[in-house]
Chains A and B, each alone.
Chain A
Amino acid sequence: DAGVTQSPTHLIKTRGQHVTLRCSPISGHKSVSWYQQVLGQGPQFIFQYYEKEERGRGNFPDRFSARQFPNYSSELNVNALLLGDSALYLCASSPYNPGSPLHFGNGTRLTVT
C-alpha cells in the first residue's frame, strides 16, 4: 500500500504570497494531521481533520487554514507568507483509533524569501 503522499516536495515563495500544500492519506485512514517542523526543532501540531471536520488546532495564526475532502485528502493553506513560515510541513494520517500511531509523509519543504 502507498504511504502518505505530499505535494509538492519543495516550494519557494516570496513574502506576502499564498501557498497550498496537499496530502493524500494512507488508504483507509480518515484522520489527517498537519505539523510544521522548523529547522533544528521538533514538529509542531497545526491541525487535525477527521471526517472532514476540524478536530484540533495548534497555536498558529489565522493565516493558516486547512480542509479535508470527501476522499480524505487534505490541503493546508497559508496566506500572507512570512519569512518565519519557512519550514518542513509534514502531513500524517491515522485510522483515529486510540493508540494507533500517526504515519507521516516525507513533507513539503517551504522556503519563503
Chain B
Amino acid sequence: EVQLVESGGGLVQPGRSLRLSCAASGFTFDDYAMHWVRQAPGKGLEWVSGISWNSGSIGYADSVKGRFTISRDNAKNSLYLQMNSLRAEDTALYYCAKASKDQAVAGSDYWGQGTLVTVSS
C-alpha cells in the first residue's frame, strides 16, 4: 500500500524558513517523480514543485521560484521542500504526491494527507 506522510508544517513568521518532509513507502521510490501541491484555505489546488526520479529535472511554480527548493533522498525514501522567505500567501495545506511516472511532467496518482503551513506574525 502506498503511503505518503508529510511533516514539518507549523506556524512561522513572515520572512522565516521552514522545511517540509515526506516519508514514502509501499512503492519503489526511486522509480517515480514526486510533487508538492498546496491548497490555501477554501481554495483550489496549486502545483508547487516537482522533481524527477534522479533529481535531474526540477520545476517550480512562478509563485515560489527562487524561494523554495525541492529535493529528495532516494536512500531514505524521502522528499523535502525547503521554504525560505515565507509570505502570508504561502499559508496552505501542503501535499506530497507521487507522480505516475519518472519525470516531473506527470500527474499524481497518490497523495499524502498534507501538512499545514501558516505564515503569520
Q: Does B associate with A? A: no
Which B residues have a C-beta under 8 Å from some C-beta of A?
Answer: none
